[in-house]
């Protein structure tokens, strides 16, 4: 059984609490990083990306494909079958408006700080940056929706506001720059 980053931290805290000597608890809010990177490929080869070796990368259960994180920073990658709009520029602009409107409706306290149409692994993408709360804690976020003809990949990345710039530079940017995505239908799911 593989532990998710948050579960690994909890397990580490529980194990660290056993024994006779008092140890220093790990800083679960710290954003680790460094100069060394590794490549992670999800089961089935659905996604592949670079990440700092000090960040934990792991497979996940559908619709999530993979996640990578350290301390208070996490990026999760999801894959959803799609049959809606196309991948042409007009369709991607419409998707951008739909995403922002949906976000404002579902999370009224979320503040959109920026949005742009971009490209990831040769496919059109919409990036939305903002500030909100995860588990009651304030976070800064970067969500990227990548539109393949049959699959929409969503990369949700977040960290504490004071740690976001470091997490973005060390982990999120390298992940997005190196991300390789399968353009086949979502494994284990069928589209409408």
- Give the residue from 124, 27, 143 showing the smallest Cα distance to 85: 124
Distances in Å between the Cα of 120 and the Cα atoms of 7, 166, 179 are: 30, 21, 7
Write down the pLDDT at residue 60. Answer: 92
pLDDT of residue 141 exceeding 50, the answer is: yes
Of 135, 127, 177, whose CA–CA distance to 160 is shortest? Answer: 135
Residue 32 has pLDDT above 80, yes or no: no
- Quick one: average pLDDT of 25-38? 60
Better-scored residue on pLDDT, 95 or 13 = 95
Residue 191 has pLDDT above 70, yes or no: no
Q: How far is 100 from 180, CA to CA, in rounded Å?
A: 25
> Considering only 8-12, 52-56, 160-164, which range has the smallest mean pLDDT?
8-12
Domains and CATH numbers, the chain: 5-181 (3.40.1000.10)
Residue 51 bridge partners (DSSP): 38
């Amino acid at each position: 059984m593989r532990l998710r980053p948050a579960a690994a931290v909890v397990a580490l805290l529980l194990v660290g609490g056993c024994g006779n000597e008092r140890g220093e608890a790990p800083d679960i809010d710290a954003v680790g990083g460094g100069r060394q990177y590794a490549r992670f490929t999800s089961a089935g080869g659905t996604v592949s990306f670079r990440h700092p070796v000090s960040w934990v990368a792991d497979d996940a259960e559908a619709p999530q494909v993979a996640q990578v994180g350290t301390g208070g920073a996490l990026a999760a990658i999801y894959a959803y079958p799609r049959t809606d709009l196309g991948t042409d520029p007009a369709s991607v602009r419409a998707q951008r408006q739909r995403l922002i409107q949906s976000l404002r409706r579902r999370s009224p306290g979320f503040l959109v700080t920026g949005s742009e149409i971009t490209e990831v692994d040769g496919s059109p993408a919409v990036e939305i940056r903002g500030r909100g709360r995860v588990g009651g804690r304030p976070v800064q976020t970067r969500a990227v929706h990548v539109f393949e003809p049959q699959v929409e990949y969503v990369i949700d990345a977040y960290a504490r506001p004071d740690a976001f710039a470091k997490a973005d530079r060390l982990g999120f940017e390298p992940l997005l720059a190196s991300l390789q995505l399968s353009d086949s239908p979502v494994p284990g799911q069928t589209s409408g």
